[in-house]
């Protein structure tokens, strides 16, 4: 078996796992939103996880710069950091919502439809980005860099949009949090 075939087989082995993870994460988040844990105060988390989203955006921008500059190892480290930050964000976000009531947006006028447009697009794309990131990452691990680059051109702007809109949504709703 050639090295190219072995790399393609590695990607196929991960396919089922990626699909499963891409389904399990959103379902688990939805289920956990229905779980309420009393007596735990995590009200400090929203600015922390919003900052984590912002930091992820910065890391993604530097990762793009690194690969465009031919600094492949730095790109790899930055992308692993971005994935780790995204996982940390998700854990904090779910923890907060399991221990706190949902915050209602109180804005009125034109800002209201802008907020909900950003929020809805952020949520929908945050679900869709999971398999895109994982497949892009596996293609790099499998050394299928032609396919990695092709998928990264789709994944990167969506992931960057999700991280940036996460910060914007937080900034738009932060005055309505109950402390």
- What one-character-per-residue DSSP string does 32-59 give? HHT---TT---TTHHHHHHHHHHHHHHH
Cα separations in angstroms, 147 against 57, 130, 132? 23, 17, 12
> What predicted TM-score, i.e. pTM, was given to this entire model?
0.91
Read off the pLDDT of each residue in 70-87 and give the average, rounded to a whole number: 98
Could you give all domains of the chain from N- to C-terminal order, each with its CATH number?
3-176 (1.20.120.80)
Whether the per-residue pLDDT at 57 is higher than 60: the answer is yes
d(CA 168, CA 172): 6
Banded model confidence at residue 12, pLDDT cuts 50, 70, 90: confident
């Amino acid at each position: 078996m050639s090295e190219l075939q072995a790399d393609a087989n590695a990607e196929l082995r991960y396919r089922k796992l990626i699909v499963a993870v891409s389904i399990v994460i959103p379902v688990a988040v939805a289920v956990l939103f229905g779980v309420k844990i009393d007596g735990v105060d995590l009200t400090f988390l929203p600015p922390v996880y919003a900052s984590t989203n912002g930091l992820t955006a910065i890391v993604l921008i530097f990762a793009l710069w690194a690969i465009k500059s031919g600094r492949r190892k730095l790109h790899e480290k930055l992308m692993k950091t971005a994935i780790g930050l995204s996982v940390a964000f998700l854990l904090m976000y779910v923890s907060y919502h399991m221990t706190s009531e949902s915050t209602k947006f109180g804005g009125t006028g034109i800002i209201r439809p802008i907020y909900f447009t950003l929020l809805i697009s952020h949520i929908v794309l945050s679900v869709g980005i999971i398999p895109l990131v994982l497949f892009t990452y596996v293609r790099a691990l499998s050394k299928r860099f032609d396919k990695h680059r092709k998928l990264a051109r789709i994944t990167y702007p969506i992931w960057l949009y999700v991280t940036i809109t996460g910060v914007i949504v937080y900034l738009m709703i932060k005055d309505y949090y109950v402390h």
